């Protein structure tokens, strides 16, 4: 057993895993909904006339950005679940120190402690 594994009690690991799985489900639903909402029909209904064509295109771009961000978050969560499995979860990528459970419970997919995140 490594020092990193000893940092988190089994109950804490279980909490983190549940939180990650919950976020994963939420993101998957959101991405599915975004895919449905991106259909042209929605743009035509309300926006044409009130929004210029350029604004409509910008709106579509915004949706795309949001999707890309959610997709990236989804990948981070999946990576965090893998780290939970292989025992490397909870160590800071920057300094190697254990990330406090208080931080992990708020940002379970985080890769770095708050000091290293600020330094980035």
Query: Would you count residue 116 as binding Zn ion (CB under 5 A)?
Result: yes
Single out the residue of 95, 105, 106, 119 in contact with Zn ion (rule: CB under 5 A). 95
Stretch near Zn ion under the rule CB under 5 A, chosen from 46-54, 64-72, 81-89, 106-114: 106-114
CA distance to 10, 75, 80, 81, per residue, from 85 (Å) = 12, 15, 9, 6
Query: Would you count residue 94 as binding Zn ion (CB under 5 A)?
Result: yes
Query: Would you count residue 91 as binding Zn ion (CB under 5 A)?
Result: no
Stretch near Zn ion under the rule CB under 5 A, chosen from 11-19, 40-48, 57-65, 105-113: 105-113
* Tokens read off for 1: 């057993």
* Tokens read off for 111: 């890769």
- For residue 33, the surrounding DSSP H or E stretch is helix 10-37
């Amino acid at each position: 057993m490594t020092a990193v594994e000893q940092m988190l009690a089994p109950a804490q690991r279980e909490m983190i895993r549940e939180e990650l799985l919950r976020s994963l489900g939420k993101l998957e639903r959101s991405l599915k909904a975004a895919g449905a909402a991106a259909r042209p029909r929605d743009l035509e209904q309300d926006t044409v006339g009130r929004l210029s064509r350029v604004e409509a295109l910008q709106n579509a771009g915004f949706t795309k950005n949001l999707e890309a961000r959610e997709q990236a978050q989804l990948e981070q969560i999946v990576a965090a679940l893998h780290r939970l499995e292989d025992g490397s979860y909870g160590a800071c990528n920057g300094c190697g120190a254990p990330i406090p459970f208080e931080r992990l419970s708020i940002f379970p997919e985080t890769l770095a402690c708050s000091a290293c995140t600020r330094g980035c």
